[in-house]
Amino acid sequence: MKGRLLGIMEPTTERVRTRDFEVNPAPSAFVDGEYKWPFALLHRRAWVLPERPLLTHISERIFNMDSAQGIVPLNVAETARVEALNWTEAELLKPSVQAQHRIDPGRRHGQRNAPPPSTTRAGVMHMRSASAYTYALRIVGAPKLAFKIGWAFDYERRAKQFNHASLPDLGGLRYDQFFYHLWDTARQAFAMQQRLIRLLEANRHPQNNEVLTGISIMDFKNAWTNCVQKL
């Protein structure tokens, strides 16, 4: 395919991590175990050129290393020839939900993908497919170290709800954000919560199965990491 035009892309200036997308690079794309091109620019749209015309049919110029290292503008005649080609719009890869959160941190947690409440089967299934968090809130004020484990579309709002009910300013317990992990779907968030609870079965509080007690911070961190990696 050397010397042929394969596609057209409309990039942005938004830098992203290449491995945030579901790509299957060849072994030759790695050097000493590191991916050669760890960063890329997010694209708005892209098109493929099924006919794959030769570059010499578009331009009489010889493009040197300046075209490989940067962008060389087309002249008026070359632009007209490219615009006359048969373009087929391509479907862009979407970044993982974790990457979306990092790219646009100004959006509230879960706001991007969380659907409106619904009691219909379709609505419930949609909610299961929306991105969600598994969270661990450290319970401050308990007789011994304790954690509340759960999942939510917005873990910060959930912590505020718990604190509103417990009234820590009046001597009640306080729920502090400790750990959270964003998953592509609520199914995954719930599955991690259940896996973590099963893994720490011996530490479950008898009056609340989602509260863990009698565990060190280090042991809890190790269990949390284990669940994230193996889910």
The ranges assigned to domains in the chain are: 7-93, 98-230
Please determine, for residue 105, whether its predicted confidence score (pLDDT) is greater than 80.
no
Cα–Cα distance for residue pair 150/158, rounded to 1 Å: 9
Report the mean per-residue pLDDT for the chain: 83
The confidence score (pLDDT) of residue 122 equals: 44
**Mean pLDDT in residue range 13-33:** 82
Query: What does the longest C-alpha to C-alpha distance in the chain come to?
Result: 80
pLDDT band at 121 (very low <50, low <70, confident <90, very high): very low
- Token pair in block for residue 95: 């970044």
List, for residues 169-197, the tens digit of each pLDDT value.
777 888 998 899 989 888 899 999 999 99
Cα–Cα distance for residue pair 60/78, rounded to 1 Å: 9
Helix residue ranges, H only, the chain: 65-69, 76-83, 97-103, 121-129, 155-166, 186-199, 217-230
**Mean pLDDT in residue range 136-155:** 90
Within 10 angstroms of residue 55's Cβ, the number of other Cβ atoms is: 15
**Mean pLDDT in residue range 87-103:** 79
Question: What sign does the CA torsion over 9, 14, 18, 19 have?
Answer: negative
**Mean pLDDT in residue range 80-102:** 84
The partner residues of 135 in beta bridges, in order of sequence, read 150, 180
Q: Report the Cα 47 to chain-centroid distance in Å.
A: 25
Of 59-73, 80-94, 117-131, 184-198, the one with minimum mean pLDDT is 117-131
- Token pair in block for residue 201: 């079965």
Q: Evaluate if pTM is beyond 0.75.
A: no
Please determine, for residue 106, whether its predicted confidence score (pLDDT) is greater than 80.
no
The confidence score (pLDDT) of residue 127 equals: 59
The confidence score (pLDDT) of residue 108 equals: 44
The confidence score (pLDDT) of residue 14 equals: 81
The confidence score (pLDDT) of residue 102 equals: 66
Of all residues in the chain, what percent carry a pLDDT higher than 90? 35
- Token pair in block for residue 37: 């091109």
Question: What sign does the CA torsion over 182, 190, 176, 117 have?
Answer: positive
Cα–Cα distance for residue pair 150/124, rounded to 1 Å: 19
